[in-house]
Structure 1
Amino acid sequence: MHAFNPSDLIGLAERLGKDGTEASDRTAVSRAYYGIFLIARDLMGVKAPDGRAHRLTQEKLKIRGQSGLSIDLAILRGLRNESDYVIDRLVAPETATNALNTAWRMHRALNRLRAKSKRRPARKK
């Protein structure tokens, strides 16, 4: 059980995305990414305490047969990097909307994956 639910970051991103300002759109993209990244990282059991966790989470998703989720996470990370660091270009409101749609779609898929892994009995070695 988490003291904080990363899904709340996606909900916050959704509220920010409705504000209609550049700062809100940038922050919405960033929070959508981090919310879904934290969920995926925990589900994949990645424990790296540094920036490697982002790449390792993508790799573990791919290894678990979730290449589409791995690609989506990489795309969201790229959007997050642009939103957080590239200030000489505007972030279109559609970018925030697309990031949110992707994050919620991934959220549903990761929840299904979590439920599926809980139903599967552990293998004996």
Structure 2
Amino acid sequence: MNSFDGKDFIYVAKSLSKINKESYIRSAAGRYYYSIFWIARKYIESECGIYLNKNNVHSEIIEFFKDDFFKKTGISESLNRLRIIRNHADYGSYHFNKDLIESINKNYNHILNEIKKLIK
């Protein structure tokens, strides 16, 4: 298991998203994704005892939450949505703005709340 705890990326994401410039918003999108990615990864490894392949870890996490047990949580769909947005932030050409950050934050909080419910 990796000892790095990337959940603190959320503080970077929120700080970047306060600046209404596209480069900051694109960077915030990436930090939102990586914060929740690390939270989801930690849940899988710590709570479920499953250690993930380093080569396909992003896809593996999304696939893990497609399991019938987790399907009703919507974690897989929300996480995949954030991953796609993160990829577009790094490589895509469409416009990033404050409205998109609100949507990203909503998906982030949905995943976070669902994982917290699973831990209880």
Tell me the TM-score normalised to structure 1 length: 0.80
Q: Which deviations, in whole Å up to 9, do the C-alpha atoms of 1:25-44 show, x marking residues without a partner?
A: 00111110111011112212
Q: Distance in 1 between matches of 2:110 and 2:66?
A: 17
Residue equivalent to 2:13 = 13
Query: Which structure 2 residue ranges, 5 or more long, are not aligned?
Result: 46-50
Residue equivalent to 2:48 = none
Tell me the TM-score normalised to structure 2 length: 0.83
- How many residue pairs end up in the alignment? 113
Query: Which structure 1 residue ranges, 5 or more long, are not aligned?
Result: 116-125
Q: Does the alignment pair 1:65 with 2:52?
A: no
Residue equivalent to 1:85 = 91
Q: Quick one: percent identity of the two aligned structures?
A: 27
Residue equivalent to 1:26 = 26
Residue equivalent to 1:74 = 80
Greater radius of gyration (CA): 1
The alpha carbon displacement at 1:58 in A equals: 1.1
- What is the SS of the residue equivalent to 2:69? coil
Residue equivalent to 1:41 = 41
Give the letter for the 1:49 counterpart: K
Q: Which runs of 4+ in 1 moved over 6 A?
A: none
Q: Distance in 2 between matches of 1:109 and 1:26?
A: 25
Give the letter for the 1:28 counterpart: A
